[in-house]
Chains A and B, each alone.
Chain A
């Protein structure tokens, strides 16, 4: 198995990059791209879609104010992204629609939806004076136009709406909403409409033996041939050691990856070599339709190798490729779920162990600065809470502390942050922040650091919710400064929870050695094993040390949340849970022609 994982990093460049070939839209900055390639690879190795989803926004407005005397306003909308520093960046302009107060603009905006960051948008509507009507909209000076009002929202507010349409009241800048100004409606649509995917089990027989002391260690790489003739790798299987008749784990390819069923694909079989020089065991060309035929007729296709004697000729090999269990299915995206009745429920647990230092002293990690500067704990709560609150309809968040000495002198490893004995929920991110500050006054810092009770409590809530609904997914944020005292206990709790709709995000603050945490986060491919021999069903932990993030462009929240949509989808897909109100139109559109 070891080879399989080392190969993931080695072959990453080859697989990760090409998979995004089919996407439209402007290329992101290079640094961003690199990071996303790695993430894409992570998602793709699990058969999942890209981390960010291109959306198409369309705008319409109604009951705009009439500024023209003899006719009606001639409105145009401008869409801006609000940057972290409050600056507005223009994303685009619609066309001008003449003489209407209820315009429906045709121009669409493509914007990448990132789950893990808050993306605030501002929409401004202008009345374009008749004398400018021959000017291209890009050249218009906005300060010369009549301003009809503006509205703002975040992208997640739009996509969590059932019909993905959000109507906002227009207002003047820095003034409350005014009924006379009318409304603007933003509708978001995924640009990649196809949800069709193919799942198949690939196996080979009688492969050539390339290794001296053992047998070949084969893996497959599937590439798509694009119009220009070059091939883009779209998928790679795991390495199966020492086997000339390998059967790989089911491979899922989306329509987005393989294009159409007729699109030619190249399937190459390699012998894995730890030094990265994988030897070709054979290759063959065929479309998805041909693979389907192999499966239906239960026949194999022979591999070829380029002939060494005659240029351009191919030599047929004994080795064959077989396709078992070819099935077409519909893969719903993360957006399909969250806009159709599914929600993420946020929970928080804060470390109250003594290693944080006395909260009253400014060098403590728990020090609450009177100037309002947030400490690391507050930063993590606000950062993650701000993103997740949009996906939680009631905004009631369970909040706990652990490792603190209660007023009765006992140390508790899971106490309610709000001080209540039976009610752990607080309202909103502000609720978490105020109960956190309150708990610092009422609870003495103690120890040891145990995660088990908090994880078990979160798992109990997740498990309880299953008895009446299947549309909730839980996210537990644990913020800690130190090394866990009992790794076995924590592992057992995580393994036990891995079957539930739960993900655990761990933020490490302060300067401790967090090596242990990396083991909990099963990113290296090793599945977590409990002391009783149970093995984690899936990876549910994501760990990020806060210091690693300092001085980097990506925020801690981004790296913390980037695995979440994938973890959510793995859970939903393996159980075949479908979005509650899947659009009939969307479903029929994915039927392959």
Chain B
């Protein structure tokens, strides 16, 4: 078993969600997953949002274990419909966005993307990492390290982009 820290993630709300190009009606929920190449850190989900429609509001605290080798966590917004659960959109949150300063409550927002890369709404959440002991090292990793101060263009563009975007989402630099 590798070292793992605990993430305390509060899923606050989402904005402007769409399902098949129409504003989402109700029953949105969020699943948070931390995965690494070695093992599955597990997943945790919020309850269904009944009244928020395409602007759901949960403010629900989830706890997820974060394996030391995990580089990102994935946040999936799903919707329970009459025909079953449908995936609305996902966002990948790089661990480097919240691993330091240790124990700090990070308020983060991300653009959600559908499986095919199409832009969907925004997810707002807060993350606090507990038991950050073994994670001090993470900062020194090339992936998570801040770009060198006068980074050249191509170096900079590598930074932070490698983190798990959904397959098929063509990343472009403008």
List residues of A whose CB falls within 8 A of some B CB: 1, 201, 203, 240-243, 245-247, 249, 411-414, 450, 452-453, 456-457, 460, 463-464, 466-467, 486, 488-489, 492, 496, 499, 527, 529, 531-538, 574-575
Contact = CB atoms under 8 A, between A and B. Distances in A.
B163 A413 contact: no
B166 to A, nearest CB: 10
Nearest to A576: B105
B55 A240 contact: yes
A456 B146 contact: yes
Interface in B145-174: 146-147, 149-151, 153, 156-157, 160-161, 163, 165, 173-174
A411 B150 contact: yes
Contacts of A1: 15-16
Interface in B125-149: 146-147, 149
Given A466-B101, A466-B104, A499-B108, A457 B149 contact: yes
Contacts of B101: 463-464, 466-467
Interface in B31-83: 51-55, 57
A251 B97 CA distance: 29
Contacts of B110: 533-535
Contact of B161 (A412, A527, A531): A531
A463 to B, nearest CB: 5
Given A453-B150, A457-B149, A537-B109, A463 B161 contact: no
B22 to A, nearest CB: 9
Contacts of B94: 532
Contact of A574 (B107, B150, B153, B157): B107
B150 A412 contact: yes
Given A203-B51, A247-B55, 11 more contacts: A1-B15, A1-B16, A240-B53, A452-B151, A452-B156, A453-B150, A456-B149, A499-B107, A529-B111, A531-B173, A532-B163
Given A456-B149, A463-B101, A535 B53 contact: no
A542 B23 CA distance: 33
Contacts of A534: 97, 108-111
Nearest to A531: B173
Contacts of B55: 240, 247, 249
Contacts of A203: 51
A245 B53 contact: yes
Contact of B106 (A246, A452, A467, A499): A499
A245 to B, nearest CB: 7
30 contacts: A201-B57, A240-B53, A242-B23, A243-B54, A245-B51, A413-B149, A453-B150, A456-B147, A456-B149, A463-B100, A464-B101, A467-B102, A488-B174, A496-B97, A527-B109, A527-B122, A529-B111, A531-B157, A531-B173, A531-B174, A532-B94, A533-B91, A533-B92, A533-B111, A533-B113, A534-B109, A534-B110, A535-B122, A537-B109, A575-B107
A492 B51 CA distance: 34
A460 B149 CA distance: 11
Contacts, number: 88
Given A453-B149, A460-B146, A535-B122, A243 B109 contact: no
A501 to B, nearest CB: 10
Contacts of A538: 107
Nearest to B111: A533
Nearest to B96: A496
Contacts of A450: 150
A191 B160 CA distance: 49
A450 to B, nearest CB: 8
Given A246-B53, A537-B108, A537-B109, A414 B173 contact: no
Nearest to B92: A533
Given A203-B51, A532-B160, A535-B110, A488 B23 contact: no
B96 to A, nearest CB: 9
The winner among B102, B146, B163 for most chain A CB atoms within 10 A is B146
Contacts of B108: 499, 534, 537
Contacts of B52: 247
A575 B151 CA distance: 33
Nearest to A538: B107
Contacts of A533: 91-92, 110-111, 113, 165
B156 A532 contact: no
B29 to A, nearest CB: 16
